[in-house]
């Protein structure tokens, strides 16, 4: 197996990778591809190699995003059952490696170090979701937007992000209020931090965007 852009697959030992690679299937992940659905059995987990998946609760509010740093199926990894309480779907098209839940369970049962690597990511993702809840509950929309744009850029190559107002409204917890997203984008653009045209957002001043996030963003998110 060629080296994977996925940071988890690139971290595991050669022995652990051998446990996985015979069962990994390379897949394209177009925009809006559903990776798991609320209260439905998780058939596969996905190691994202490019693009961004959003984790959405109650079909309305995003609680986190997953890119090349991570993997779906936190509940499967932690042994918490076969279904999930949220939807996961692609918001920026990409690709990844897919493995069945049966095979990932066999692999982690065979290797404690592999299980430790996967659980470490799940803990990091839990921290991201907790920070999201705090940010959505107590920060201005411009601050929340700055955080999400920084998090998205961390997971792609380059400065351009193809994100719709609808997606950003879900990420910011203001679904149905796309107009407020537009106003927040205009404010960040007025301050010279981004350029915005249709569904393409270009990061111009990342350091300024970090300041605009007002402490809500962390490079570990």
Residues 6+ apart with CB under 8 A from 171: 54, 62, 65, 148
Q: Is residue 202 part of a domain?
A: yes
Q: Which two tokens stand for residue 214?
A: 């007002």
Cα dihedral 34, 35, 40, 45 in deg (nearest 10) = 170
pLDDT at 167 > cutoff 90: no
Determine the 3-state secondary structure of 203 from DSSP. strand
- What is the spatial distance between Cα 67 and Cα 134, in angstroms, rounded to a whole number? 21
Distance CA 1, CA 209 (A): 38
Q: Which of 65-69, 98-102, 179-183, 199-203 has the lowest mean pLDDT?
A: 179-183
152 plus 63 within the same structural domain: no
Query: CATH number for the domain including 75?
Result: 2.60.120.10
Average pLDDT on 81-97 reads 88
Same domain, 28 and 86: yes
Q: Please check whether residues 34 and 59 belong to one and the same domain.
A: yes
Domain final residue pick, 106, 135, 164 = 135
Output 166 or 26, whichever has higher pLDDT: 26
Residue 219 neighbours by CB distance under 10 Å? 8
Per-residue model confidence as pLDDT tens digits over 174-192: 866 778 888 999 999 999 9
Residue 113: both structure tokens together:
């170090």
Q: What angle do CA 89, 90, 95 make, to 5 degrees?
A: 125
**117 and 25 share a domain?**
yes
| Least confident interval from 8-17, 36-45, 52-61, 101-110 | 52-61
Q: Which residue has the tokens 């270009």?
A: 202
Helix, strand, coil in percent for the chain, rounding step 5 = 45, 25, 30
Banded pLDDT at 218 (limits 50, 70, 90): confident
Average pLDDT of the chain is: 91
Give the pLDDT confidence of 195-210 residue by residue, as tens digits: 998 889 999 999 999 9
Average pLDDT over residues 4-29: 95
91 lies in the same domain as 148:
no
Task: Provide the number of structural domains found in the chain.
Answer: 2
- Cα separation, 149 vs 160, in Å, equals 10
């Amino acid at each position: 197996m060629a080296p994977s852009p996925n940071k988890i697959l690139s971290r595991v030992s050669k022995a652990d990778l051998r446990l996985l690679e015979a069962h990994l299937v390379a897949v394209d992940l177009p925009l809006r591809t559903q990776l798991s659905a609320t209260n439905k059995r998780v058939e596969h987990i996905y190691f994202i190699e490019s693009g961004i998946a959003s984790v959405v609760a109650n079909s309305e509010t995003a609680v986190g995003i997953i890119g090349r740093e991570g993997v779906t199926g936190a509940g499967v990894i932690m042994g918490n059952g076969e279904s999930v309480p949220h939807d996961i779907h692609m918001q920026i098209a990409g690709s990844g490696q897919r493995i069945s839940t049966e095979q990932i369970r066999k692999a982690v049962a065979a290797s404690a170090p592999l299980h430790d690597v996967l659980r470490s990511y799940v803990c990091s993702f839990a921290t991201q979701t907790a920070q999201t809840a705090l940010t959505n509950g107590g920060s201005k929309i411009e601050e929340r937007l700055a955080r999400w744009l920084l998090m998205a850029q961390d997971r792609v190559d380059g400065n351009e992000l193809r994100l719709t107002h609808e997606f950003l409204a879900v990420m910011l917890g203001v679904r149905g209020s796309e107009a407020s997203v537009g106003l927040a984008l205009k404010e960040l653009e007025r301050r010279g931090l981004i350029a915005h045209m249709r569904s393409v957002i270009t990061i111009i001043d990342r350091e300024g965007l970090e300041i605009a996030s007002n402490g809500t963003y962390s490079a570990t998110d």
